[in-house]
Amino acid sequence: MNATLQPEVRTHAPGARGTLFMVADGMGGAAAGEIASAMATEVVLSELDLRWRQASDSSPETFARALKDATEAANTRINRYAAEHPENRGMGTTATIAGILGDMLFLSQVGDSRGYLVRGGVARQITKDQSLMQKLIEAGELTAEEAEVSERRNIILQALGPEPMVKVDLTSQQVRQGDTLVLCSDGMSGQMRTADISRIVNEDPDLVATCRKLIDLANDNGGPDNITVIAARFEGPGLMAPNTGEDPVYHVYSGESEARATVRVRTDSIPGIDEDRPKVSPEAVTNEVSAIPVPPSESAKPAAAAEQNKIPIGVLRIIFGSLAALLALYLIFTAIRRS
């Protein structure tokens, strides 16, 4: 296991146990939100070490189940901590956890942090917000455009911590050559349209620059919340080229066996966002490292810097850029149980 928070550029070979990316956006006040998001990342990583790295079964089904179980374990731990520390009552965090295994991308999600996949120059959302607005859109009571400007757009239905039980949304995608994954908190997605993500990802092959531009745009558009973004580009001879009309869509994981492929990953990291976790790598390629310090935007909230070091992220052999002013401060949270 190799963990670091230093700014680096890395080239990784994927291995039998995959790679992890995670965004956790805390809520419940500055201190409580930081505790919840840090706890979520630590629990998820420790649980995956136990349930996945040390497991004898290396099938996609076991990996997907381990992601889901680790997310549920994080909820239990945060909920118990809040019960034992009344001063942090109401603490919680969103969690969007992306795991790569071969050419399969699995996402375990609670809350409204999002995942997008950019293919053929077009970004598409591959997660579904667990929010009041999403429910109203699905019920036909609001359009997506109306939801974007609603005063209730920050009301989420679930987060890790507030309730003893949580329903994890587990989805999957088959990645293709050149796909770019973007994970972000609502501090970013709430300040721009999907077309903006497409444009910025396509403007520059440098993913550090991509993350900087995404954060700058979110801040230029108001930036009322802290912003976390991770961008990872998938490359490698084992990946199939995208087929015409084969667009990424939100897809609930069915549990069926999926083929694997060799994925190449180069990662561009920014201070405070990534930790290189267990490198599972039978088909090793190379590791390249060089420093790329990128300061957060001047308009980021002051407490964000203190929270930066709280999000560990493992990386593969993908081009991955990350930048953040992390973990939400004073995010309005109303826990509404799913009907």
Model pTM? 0.75
pLDDT at 167: 95
Residue 99 is assigned to a structural domain of this protein: yes
| Phi, psi angle pair for 149, to nearest 5° | -110, 5
Structure tokens at 4: 């670091």
Give the residue from 64, 80, 75 showing the smallest Cα distance to 158: 75
Beta strand 318-325 with 264-268: parallel, antiparallel or unpaired?
Answer: parallel
pLDDT of amino acid 50: 95
Domain assignment of residue 2, yes or no: no
Q: What is the mean pLDDT of the chain?
A: 76
Range of the domain at 305: 9-325
The residue-averaged pLDDT of 203-228 equals 91
Domain count, the chain: 1
What does the pLDDT look like over 44-60, one tens digit per residue? 999 999 999 999 999 99
On whether the CB atoms of residues 106 and 59 are closer than 8 A, the answer is: no
CATH number of the domain within which 173 lies? 3.60.40.10
Residue 339 lies in a domain: no
pLDDT at 133: 85
Instruction: Give the model's pLDDT for residue 186.
Output: 92
Q: Note whether residue 1 is domain-resident.
A: no
Question: Quick check: 36 pLDDT over 70?
Answer: yes
Selected residue with higher pLDDT from 229 and 282: 229
Write the DSSP string, 299-338.
Answer: TS-THHHHHGGG------SEEEEEEEE-S-SS--------
CB 234 within 8 A of CB 179: yes
